[in-house]
Amino acid sequence: MQKAPAFLIFADLHHSGESMSENLLELKNISKRFGGLVALDNVSLVVKPGEIHCLAGENGCGKSTIIKTIAGVYTPTEGEILIDGKPVTGFTPARSVQQGIQVIYQDFSLFGNLTVAENLALNTLLLEGKKSVSWKRIRDLATKALARLGVTMDLDADVESLPTSGKQIVAIARAMMGDARLIIMDEPTTALTRPEVDALFRIVRDIQAQGIAVLFVSHKMREMLEISERLTVLRNGKKVAEGPISDFNEAAITRAMTGHDLTDQTYEWTPVKGDEQPRLNVKQLSIPGMLENIDLTLRAGEIVGLSGLIGSGRTELALALFGMNPKYTGSVTIDGKAVHPKTVQDAIASGLAYVPEDRLTEGLFLTQSIERNMLATSFENFVSGMFIDRKKADAATKAMFGAMQIAAPGPQTPVNHLSGGNQQRVVLARWLLTGARVLILNGPTVGVDVGSKAQIHRKIRELATENGLAVLMISDDVPELVQNCNRVIVMHRGRFVDEVAADALNEDALNDRLKALK
Amino acid sequence: MTIFRRSEFIIAAILLVAMIFIGLINPAFWSLDNMFGLLRSNVIIGIMALGVLVVMISGGIDVSFTAFAVAAMYLTVKGMLYFGYEGVLVPFIAATLIGLVLGAFNAFFIHTFRMIPLIVTLGTGSVVRGLLLGLVGTSIINIDKMPPELINFAKVNLVNSTSATGTNFGLTAMILIYLGLALVTHLFLRYTMIGRSIFAYGGAPEAAKRVGFDTRKTLFFVYCFAGALAGFAGLLQGSMIWQANPRDFAGFELDVIAAVVLGGASIFGGRGSVAGTLLGVFMLVMVKNSLIIMKVDTTWQRVVVGLIIVGATALTAWRDRKKLV
């Protein structure tokens, strides 16, 4: 037992001996414990000057602990931090910045109420210990910072008026001021559309061309493969893989991140014979200035993707169907029955369920029991007279608890004791209890890591095949649509402009059509 | 900045419309006499509003400043009488300092215990009022006892005129002090790092800490500034009305806050301007003044002030929320 690590350490020393001056940052056998909880367990990480390095792992794997250790916020319980080959002691946030390390957190730490120019210049003015403010100098500093990134932007715009991508550019430009040598980006692509991701990657490569290293923290495999040169994968606080990106492919990264293989089987739908009645039939639905003559037919067991650029009218369509924007013309039938939901309650009663973005993870009452969470939208169905029919409700939730295969001691377990994937099952169960026959999902896996994502997908497919639900899946995630939908509709400027049928459905085909929209 | 300019423009436009409207109902509104009176009524509420503006930009709220104003006024006047002091400058400095020190208590509690500013200032305000009445005294110091230097100082007019009915009136020189303080506040908010730190803290406190602002300094500055202005305004009020009443300013904090909100400052922090506040103060004073001219009962004036707070807050909240989308 003792020999193997000794050998490893030796190998490590040997390696770093050769490239001592090459390493900008080296974490050596870092462990971090919070009380009894081990957040990092003997993790080593090397970042070379000017490289794009990816730190991968699922939520809770220790990524943020590593970032905070490098930023000097956390002091490691064990292990050593070396910068330029020299060990640093008493590492603090200020010293980390002095060494040229800049962290761009997910929330960007910008001031929404201040202008772009001021956001960019504040750090520098603070570092210089200025007492007074010269607005001309603020503009000069800001212009210079943006020029360095090769972008132009309205310096007088309030940052909160910018789209996420704009805020990110401000955050990056700010991080590069001073003498940044390593910029750490925490999940930088989470809220970006594909063209914005492309723009970000161009910027990241520009930064690299200026000799600045980038540590890219992510759980999105494609992006890692696309942008990074080297990869380090964490799982449960341990380093499980590292190496040049050429050593990895999607499957290998997934395996390293989750510890097992995930299926990439696409969804196949076979129409049920004798059940020709469409679940949902939308005819000529229009809202002036928003939606134009939408025709949509969903049949039992279908999972239909809805793709398009942001602002294409996808969400508006979902809201119209779900009674949140009832001022439309045209007709909607569910199982052959004409409906025109004017409120969310109407929509639920007529068999619709809509799960808005993030709601899969955030729509739960975390401290409440599984049972209560399941019943949250369907209490009306279990009322007799003035009171809730406990027996009926218990029976329904118990049955659902079993059907959903939720891994918990029982329906009374609080939802915050469950894993992410199991929490999602609770949300889906909640909608099934409303008797929904048409399920509209908006960005069902935004911000969800690979493992849970696969679980959610599996459940959605089961709902379609086994419960005969018709599913409309709105998503920006092309692989997600390709993998889970039997056909994908492309929406643009409030209209359905294209449809990719099952036999032609692949990522390139869908990407090409999305690109053609611009 | 365009949004700032825009909301001030809107406030100014509303103010102008309201003035024309009131002028139509009551032609006397536009008389020089009434205008001078209006401006005079702006001074005390305006000086206090500058302090509240700074607190609100920092994302906080202060309801204790009227208590500090009373304490500063009453203690200073009592002190002047006790020592038989006959100057003006030293008493005003003393009153300002009393307000400043009391403001520091607010900052201390808010910073050290991370307490909600509303609760802290409700508490400190109550304590200060109680201590003043319990330990210092409850009797009103009237004109017969008021130091004449203070009264004479506040009597200085910029212009004097005689109305058609033969009464003398003038524009008080105190308006210059108010406008001077407003200018200083504006320059300070815009051109000093600590001024910018107040905006930064009000916009995103966590981020302000991360970029390296000394947020403790910011908080102390904000509440001391509000306290100091209140202390100064307190003594000035006593000088202008020739009376030091230890129960003065009851409920007045709501008027001041209403004026600041009316001036476009955001209750969420991070937004507000001196120009807007000047307009907001003028608007509030004008509305109250018109209610008096129209012989509306004072109890109903409370209703109007309350409605203004709710209405203006709803508007700014709506404005700020809309921008997020």
Q: What is the DSSP string of A205-268?
A: HHHHHTT-EEEEEES-HHHHHHH-SEEEEEETTEEEEEEEGGG--HHHHHHHHHSS----PPP-
* Ramachandran bin of B60, using left for φ above 0, alpha for ψ from -120 to 50, beta for the remaining angles: beta
3-state secondary structure of A282: strand
Place of tokens 């209403």: B258
B195 touches chain A (CB under 8 A): yes
Q: CA-to-CA distance for A23 and A19, rounded, in angstroms? A: 7
CB neighbours of B11 closer than 8 A, spacing ≥ 6?
Answer: B262, B263, B264, B276, B279, B280, B283
DSSP A271: P
B319 touches A at CB < 8 Å: no
DSSP B22-67: HHHH-GGGGSHHHHHHHHHHHHHHHHHHHHHHHHHHTT---S-HHH
Nearest-angstrom CA–CA distance, A430 and A59: 25
- Crossing angle for the helix pair B65-83 and B89-112, nearest 10 degrees? 140
CATH number for region B2-320:
1.10.3470
Cβ-based neighbours of A483, under 8 Å, separated by 6 or more: A264, A265, A266, A267, A457
Q: What is the mean pLDDT of residues B190-208?
A: 94
Flag whether pLDDT at B2 surpasses 60: no
More confident residue, A421 or A308: A308
The full set of domain ranges for chain A reads: 20-258, 280-515
Q: Enumerate the residues of chain B whose CB falls inside 8 A of the CB of residue A118.
A: 196
pLDDT of residue B223: 97
Beta bridge partners of A235: A238
pLDDT band at A4 (very low <50, low <70, confident <90, very high): very low
> Model confidence over B246-302: pLDDT tens digits?
999 988 999 999 999 999 898 889 999 999 999 999 999 998 888 887 788 888 888
Contacts of B208 in chain A (CB under 8 A): 111
Q: Are B235 and B151 in contact (CB under 8 A)?
A: no
Q: Are B68 and B74 within 8 A, CB to CB? A: no
For the stretch B313-324, pLDDT in tens is 888 777 766 554
Select from A292, A343, A344 the least CA-distant residue to A313. Answer: A292
Res A392: pLDDT: 85
Contact B202 A125 (CB under 8 A): no
B95 has a chain A CB within 8 A of its CB: no
CA B257 to chain centre: 8
Q: Do A112 and B211 touch (CB under 8 A)?
A: no
- Range A20-258: architecture per CATH: 3-Layer(aba) Sandwich (3.40)
Domain boundaries, chain B: 2-320
Provide CB contacts within 8 A for A46, sequence distance 6+.
Answer: A16, A23, A25, A26, A27
Is B195 in Cβ contact with A111 (below 8 Å)? no
A2 pLDDT more than 50:
no
Q: Cα–Cα distance between A406 and A251 in angstroms, integer? A: 27
Asked if B193's CB is within 8 angstroms of A115's CB, the reply is no
pLDDT tens sequence across A375-406: 887 777 788 777 888 888 888 888 888 877 77
Helix or strand (DSSP H, E) at A488: strand A487-492
Higher pLDDT, B269 or A364: B269
Answer yes or no: do B270 and A158 touch at CB < 8 A.
no
pLDDT above 70 covers a percentage of chain B that reads 96
Q: DSSP H helical segments within A329-449, as ranges?
A: 344-349, 359-362, 370-375, 390-403, 420-433
How would you label B228-257 residue by residue, b for 16+ Cβ within 10 Å and e otherwise? bbbbbbbbbbbbbebbbbbebbeebbebbb
pLDDT greater at residue B307 or residue A178:
B307
At A498 the three-state DSSP class reads strand
Q: What is the rounded CA–CA span in Å between residue A505 and residue A486?
A: 8
Q: Given this model, what pLDDT does residue A18 score? A: 42
Instruction: Identify from B1, B7, B206 which residue to disrupt to test chain A contact, counting A C-beta atoms within 10 A and taking the largest count.
Output: B1
Residue A121 has a pLDDT of 93
- Alpha carbons A208 and A15: distance in angstroms, whole number: 24
pLDDT in tens, A402-434: 877 777 788 888 887 776 667 777 887 888 788
Output A516 or B15, whichever has higher pLDDT: B15
Question: What pLDDT score does A447 carry?
Answer: 65
Whether pLDDT at A174 is above 70: yes
Query: Which residues lie across from B141 on neighbouring strands?
Result: B244
Residue A13: pLDDT above 60?
no
SS (H, E, C) A424-484: HHHHHHHHHHCCCCEEEEECCCCCCCHHHHHHHHHHHHHHHHHHCCEEEEECCCHHHHHHH
* Residue A295 burial (10 A CB sphere; 0-12, 13-18, 19+): exposed
Residue-wise pLDDT tens digits, A482-510 = 889 999 999 998 999 989 887 888 888 88
pLDDT (0 to 100) of residue A10: 39
Tokens at B23, concatenated: 């002028």
ipTM: 0.87
Q: How does pLDDT run across A354-363, given as a tens digit for each residue?
A: 887 765 556 7
Return mean pLDDT, chain A: 84
Q: In the numeric block, which tokens belong to residue A194?
A: 């594909």
- Regarding pTM above 0.90, the answer is no
CATH number for the region A280-515 comes to: 3.40.50.300
Residue B139 above 60 pLDDT?
A: yes
HSE-CB of A278 using CA atoms within 13 angstroms: 14
**pLDDT category of residue A6 using cuts at 50, 70 and 90:** very low
Predicted pLDDT at A7: 39
- CB-based contacts of A83, cutoff 8 Å, min separation 6: A24, A25, A26, A99
Domains A20-258 and A280-515 share a fold: yes
User: Does the structure show a pLDDT above 80 at A201?
Assistant: yes
- Give residue-wise pLDDT tens across range A426-468: 887 888 788 888 999 988 877 677 777 787 888 888 888 888 8
Of B193, B210, B213, the CB nearest to A130: B193
Helix (H, G, I), strand (E, B), or coil: what is residue A103? Answer: strand
Question: Which residues of chain B are within 8 Å of residue A132 when distances are taken between CB atoms?
Answer: 191-193
Backbone angles phi and psi of A147, in degrees to 5: -60, -35
- Is B207 within 8 Å of A127 when comparing Cβ atoms? no
According to the model, what pLDDT value does residue A193 have?
Answer: 77
Share of chain A above pLDDT 70, in %: 92
Give how far Cα A467 sits from Cα of A329, A350, A436, Å.
31, 17, 10
Terminus-to-terminus CA distance in chain B, angstroms?
Answer: 18
Tell me which amino acid residue A423 is: Q
Q: Which of B77-81, B143-147, B311-315 has the lowest mean pLDDT?
A: B311-315
pLDDT bin (cut points 50, 70, 90) of residue B305 is: confident
The pLDDT tens digits for B112-122 are: 998 999 999 99
Task: Check if B78 contacts A (Cβ < 8 Å).
Answer: no
pLDDT at B298: 82
Alpha carbon separation from A501 to A444, A504, A505, A509, B7 (Å, rounded): 21, 6, 6, 10, 52
